[in-house]
Amino acid sequence: MITEPLLSNPKGGITALLFIIANEALERLASFGLSTNMIMYLTREYGMDAASGAQILFLYSAAGNFMPIIGAFLADTYVGRYPMIGFGCITSLLGMVLLWLTTIIPEARVPSCAQFSSTCNNEATTPQLLFLYFCLALMSIGAGGIRSCSLAFGADQLRKRDSLKYAGILESFFSWYYVISSASVFISMTCLVYIQDALGWKVGFGVPCGSHDPLNSFLLLGFSHLCQAPRPRPTGSPDLLEVLVASFRKRRIGLCSQNPDELYHHGKGSAACRAK
């Protein structure tokens, strides 16, 4: 178990790490609790076949794994890690609440058909599918904002700590982070799935929303304990966006020669080109 070293900075330290670990654990509990049994919800309540439902869930999972890349880029370049985590918490909670509302509002999903009915239409309408996709997109974006910065933000809490104990504390933080996150996934894939099957979708989707709400509370309560490292400004080299813009603007510049000695003078109107 990690122990608190002698600290000179009032922010950061073990208390801040506990808030970050709790934040990630609740996010994993909520997101995996919804996605694990989602294929049953799509086939039963939206009239989808197994192949269509699996394709939607594949895209949702792919988006959730890709969004942390964008979240990390935005956090390190523009907004910072704490604002990105806060944005992810709010966005993810909004998506979960809207998805939970589909279990409450009958018009948001395909109505149940009476037995032997010949006028039943068990196909979801376009507005119903768009609303479902919007909920899943919000959840993916929120997960990307949280997962992209949690570990790095935890390391920021020990940035100005005792250098002799820094490595050991950081190693313990990473270990407990993965252990508790894995335990949350295990609980969500067993207990929450059982609740959804036994008590219905309203309760089964409401529990992840309820567990996600303290996530925002932990983030706000831990604000006074969290050490927000300043965002490093790029020095000496352009960022990715500037490179892309410059490449697009110079896309029509031609090379006057394939000679390696002359490729250096490839600018428009250079001496090498005028000589040609």
**pTM of the predicted model as reported, rounded to 2 decimal places:** 0.73
Distance CA 273, CA 259 (A): 12
> DSSP assignment, residue 224?
G
Asked if residues 209 and 93 have their Cβ atoms less than 8 Å apart, the reply is yes
Provide the total of helices (H) and of strands (E) in the chain, helices listed first: 11, 0
pLDDT one digit per residue (tens) for the chain, 276 residues: 444 443 444 566 677 778 788 888 888 888 888 888 889 899 888 888 889 899 999 999 999 889 999 998 898 888 888 888 889 888 988 998 999 999 998 888 887 654 444 555 567 888 999 999 999 999 999 988 888 888 888 777 776 555 566 777 788 888 888 999 899 889 888 888 888 888 888 898 888 888 776 666 656 655 555 656 555 554 544 566 677 777 777 777 765 555 555 555 565 444 444 444
Distance CA 96, CA 100 (A): 6
Distance CA 144, CA 94 (A): 14
Question: For the chain, what's the residue count?
Answer: 276
Q: ∠ CA 137-138-143 to the nearest 5 degrees?
A: 100
